[in-house]
Amino acid sequence: MSRSLSALFLAACLAFYVLRSGVLRPYLKFIWHCFIRPIGLDDQKARLDKFYEGQADVYDTTRDGLLRGRNTMLSLSAAHLKGLHIGGGTGHNIELMNKHMPILESFDAVYLIDLCEPLLDIARKRFAKKGWTNVTVLCQDASEFRLSEWRDGQDPKGSVGFVTLSYSLSMIPSFYTVLDRIDHVLCPKDGLIAVVDFYTAGKQPSLHEKAIGGASKECGWLSRWFWQIWFDFDHVSLSPARRSYLEYKFGTVRTWFIIPFIVRIPYYIWLGRPRACDVSRACHAFEVEGGNMIGNCSPAPLKAMKEVEDLDVQPAEVVIDVTPPFSSFHYHISRSWRLPYYDHPVHKEFRTFIYSFTWEDPFEDMKHLQLTSEDSMFVITSAGDNALHYAVASSPKRIHCVDMNPCQNHLMELKLACITSLDYNDFFALFGEGRHPNFRALLDSKVAPHLSSSAYQFWRINSGSFASSFYLRGYSGWALRLASFLFRLAGVSKDIEALCNADTLEQQAEIWKTKLRPVILNPVVVALLKNPVFCWNALGVPLNQRKMLLDEGGVYEFIRDTLDPLASSYLFKTGNYFYLLALLGHYTPESCPQYLTRPGFEALKANNGQVLDAFRLHTDSIVNVLRGLSDWCLTRALIMDHLDWFAPGSADIDEEVAELHRVLAPGGFVFWRSAARQPWYNVNFERRGFEVTALGVRKGSEAAIDRVNMYASFWRAVKI
């Protein structure tokens, strides 16, 4: 009884303290004005003044948890000068922007426009206290705003570089007029409009919504019904009309839609550019060899553009097919590597990337590729490691990276964007060590301007991938996790470290033979590796390839022939980064892919990343991408073990080989690897007119054919 009384007394004291201290006062004001006090049916300005006049002083305190996403929007937008903030309220957003870019030093002029005088009074006091003399507060209707720097009779067209609307567009009845006005005053060359606002949307987004990265832009029926009705009482519209008109009026640079947990309100962040932006830059990523265009830029306008260039006519005279809406790929702020793609049913099978690292030896490739700066390559993206190696080693003029899994191209796009925007230490932390404590901040403040909207959304959702170990993510990460578990279970974790730190091949071979070989070639492990479900989900080995492997011997023999020669052939500590990663879960500066070395990174970053302009990322099947390329436009093609995935006798291989023959120039090479010593599909190349040569065939456990030695054979076909 005494304990209950004590607890009651303490609770009463706590309640008295809270009431006395005024901690709850702002929130009680918020509840009264937002949920209880009638607003009335006056005009928009009168309603706003009445709604905010009693709570303007507590607005910022009570909105931090409610109006989310503002800091992210400003971080993504921080690279643009000259600011106009519509629906600015108390000016809190401008104060937030100061964290990303100093207001006085970075902006010529900043205008805050709002129709609510009580909130603007707070803003004026805030800016006076900060001493920001370049910030002007205007009480105006957003549909008719006029800046003080505009002289009478002056057309303000293109005079503003950056416009933000923070939780205001949903409150503006005449939003069509407002967005038309913004479109008129926004700089056509590199202006930016950024919006964060509440929003609900139905399911089944259109193809265009998917193309601009809005595939997750949907709420359940209960959330849509509840929030739309709730906000209607306050004359706030959460319907899709405003968002749709944004996407119609401006070119989407980036979109990000958030459905928070349970009681929080769905909202979106959206960045756009004028549709009249620089056409040549907009079409940059979509031009491929032979003038063929992929995406929404049609071939005819480009032909017209080329003819105009030949005639030395001003670009303004070129008529470009700009029928909106274009996808977000057309309005990138920075260089664009990724080609547009629409969702395909097969994409739903890929929830994440399968490969976080590339499991083929590019050093062996380079012995046979004979690459020059005049070559055009066709490669499978995978994790992008080998494609970047070719760029470092030879700087070919074009590298087409192709993958049906969008997430593999998200990964490749992230690497290209990070090379462009980060320093070496941050880059190696991400992809060498596989972890970075500030990845989310880097993504928003530095990397995002170089990512497509789809890739940005993927990495924003998966920003935790670099919290512990990136290489334990993806399907391949499960294999590394399992290996680590088995080593701990067998008590050989210290032997793993000793193997990866061995200074001689003799030491390395001894540790392998006496400590690790008995663990990996254990019957239980062999049985697991033989399981078809594990082969696909952890190792990325499909059923047809697994069958090819088993047809030429058992799993035990395959593992033995793969691993036995490696310990005595390549030092993991300095040369064989493939197995160092598999054993440790990360690379080291002494043992890592070429693009992760400091010289390799600097070569890719040199001359403002000129080498990276060679990349084009295609999210489609190999044969579909080949169909889009013109005759004789390629000189080198590396298709990895891709053909192992087909069933024996598949007619699809004939079509793919025919397309490879068409797009390759005479004397061009195709390279592939196989789990079989004699792949059944070699004859398909010979029938088409290729000369096929074995570059390496594994012969038991005698010697490794490369640093990976996972494939039984390596082949080249030359177009005669």
| 152 and 72 within one domain | yes
Alpha carbon of 161 to those of 105, 183, 193, 255, 473: distances in Å?
A: 16, 11, 8, 19, 40
In contact, 346 and 645? CB cutoff 8 Å: no
Which residues, listed in sequence order, are joined to residue 338 by a DSSP beta bridge? 617
Sign of CA dihedral 121, 122, 123, 129: positive
Q: How does the average pLDDT of the chain come out, rounded?
A: 79
| 111 and 256 within one domain | yes
pLDDT-derived band at 478 (thresholds 50, 70, 90) equals confident
Overall number of domains in the chain: 3
**The token pair that represents 646 in the structure block:** 């087909």
| 252 and 303 within one domain | no
| 311 and 187 within one domain | no
Look at 97 and 409; give whichever has higher pLDDT.
Answer: 409
Of 607, 614, 599, the C-alpha closest to 396 is 614
* Rounded Cα distance, 337 and 349, in Å: 24
Of 258, 273, 288, the one marking the end of a domain is: 273
**The token pair that represents 196 in the structure block:** 């964060």
374, pLDDT greater than 50:
yes
* Rounded Cα distance, 565 and 458, in Å: 40
pLDDT-derived band at 688 (thresholds 50, 70, 90) equals very high
| 221 and 72 within one domain | yes
Can you tell me whether residue 714 is helix, strand or coil? strand
**The token pair that represents 531 in the structure block:** 């399981």
**What is the bridge-based pairing of β-strands 162-166 and 83-86?**
parallel
**Strands across the sheet with 83-86, in order?**
135-139, 110-114, 83-86, 162-166, 192-198, 267-274, 250-258
In 215-278, which ranges are E strands? 250-258, 267-274
32 belongs to a structural domain: no
DSSP class of residue 168? -
Range of the domain at 567: 489-584
* Per-residue model confidence (pLDDT) at position 256: 72
* Rounded Cα distance, 428 and 417, in Å: 14
| 255 and 138 within one domain | yes
| 215 and 129 within one domain | yes
| 241 and 288 within one domain | no
What is the number of residues in the chain?
Answer: 720
* Rounded Cα distance, 492 and 224, in Å: 55
Of 256, 273, 290, the one marking the end of a domain is: 273
Backbone angles phi, psi at 554, to 5 degrees: -85, 170
369 belongs to a structural domain: no
Q: What is the largest CA-CA distance in the chain?
A: 97
Q: Is the peptide bond before 325 cis (omega within 30 degrees of 0)?
A: yes
259 belongs to a structural domain: yes
pLDDT tens track for 442-459: 998 889 888 888 888 889
533 belongs to a structural domain: yes
Can you tell me whether residue 577 is helix, strand or coil? helix
| 305 and 193 within one domain | no
Of 226, 257, 273, the one marking the end of a domain is: 273
In contact, 271 and 77? CB cutoff 8 Å: yes
* Rounded Cα distance, 359 and 368, in Å: 18
92, pLDDT greater than 90:
no
pLDDT-derived band at 339 (thresholds 50, 70, 90) equals confident
pLDDT tens track for 492-545: 999 999 999 999 999 999 999 999 989 888 887 777 666 665 555 545 566 677
| 287 and 269 within one domain | no
220, pLDDT greater than 80:
no
295, pLDDT greater than 50:
no
**What is the bridge-based pairing of β-strands 250-258 and 135-139?**
unpaired
pLDDT tens track for 108-166: 888 888 888 888 888 888 888 888 888 888 888 888 888 888 887 788 898 888 898 88
| 265 and 133 within one domain | yes
pLDDT tens track for 297-333: 333 333 333 333 343 433 333 333 334 456 666 666 5
The type of residue at 166 is S
Of 380, 253, 385, 265, the C-alpha closest to 326 is 253
CATH of the domain at 253: 3.40.50.150
Proportion of the chain above pLDDT 70, given as a percent = 71
* Per-residue model confidence (pLDDT) at position 79: 47
223 belongs to a structural domain: yes
Ranking 3-7, 53-57, 360-364, 604-608 by mean pLDDT, the lowest is: 53-57
**The token pair that represents 695 in the structure block:** 């570059």
3-state secondary structure 77-108: HCCCCCEEEECCCCCHHHHHHHHHCCHHHHCC
In contact, 188 and 274? CB cutoff 8 Å: yes
620 belongs to a structural domain: no
* Rounded Cα distance, 137 and 124, in Å: 7
| 211 and 68 within one domain | yes
33 belongs to a structural domain: no
662 belongs to a structural domain: no
Global confidence as pTM: 0.78
pLDDT-derived band at 351 (thresholds 50, 70, 90) equals confident
Specify burial of residue 662 (Cβ count, 10 A radius: 0-12, 13-18, 19+).
middle
